[in-house]
Amino acid sequence: MSGIHWIVIAFVVIAGLGFWSWQQSAKQLKKLQASGFIISTDLKGNPKLLLDEENRLLALVGPTSYRVYELQQVRNLEYKYDSNAQVEMNHRIEISLQNTTTDQETVVYEDEWIAQDKFKLLQSKLR
């Protein structure tokens, strides 16, 4: 096999895994909504960050599970990123929680502008 064949195979495998992950996340999202969670704000990210403003809830939805917290459990929000000499990467919102088995949740975004925009929006919803 030539190099181009390996590239095509790698692309197909990556696309297949992405599609599978999307399908699994969609199933978790349906389960979340079936539990009574009403999506009022979709803050995107990985895992997907959702708000139910009516019931004052926050949910994180991934391909294998979803987690729901009351907004009053959010102790602190931080916008963070890692950088190296060439590129800033790994822009994320870190959500510190109280009275939960998890002290912190992290939501990752693809770039700085989206992460900062979602961070400001989440801050405004918590007030």
For the domain that residue 104 is a member of, what is the CATH number?
2.30.29
Residue 95, strand partner residues: 77, 105
Domain count, the chain: 1
More confident residue, 21 or 71: 71
Could you write out the DSSP letters of every residue in 31-95?
A: HHHHTT---SEE--TBTEEEEETTTTEEEEE-SS-EEEEEGGGEEEEEEEEEE-SS-EEEEEEEE
Q: What is the pTM of this model?
A: 0.82
Residue with tokens 């139910």: 52
Q: How confident is the model at residue 85 (pLDDT cuts 50, 70, 90)?
A: low
| pLDDT higher than 60, residue 97 | yes
Tell me, what amino acid is at 35?
S
Q: For residue 95, what are the domain limits? A: 3-126
Task: Please report, to the nearest 10 degrees, the dihedral formed by the alpha carbons of residues 48, 43, 39, 55 taken in order.
Answer: 100
pLDDT digits (tens, 9 = 90+) for 98-109: 988 889 999 999
| pLDDT higher than 80, residue 87 | no
Q: How confident is the model at residue 5 (pLDDT cuts 50, 70, 90)?
A: confident
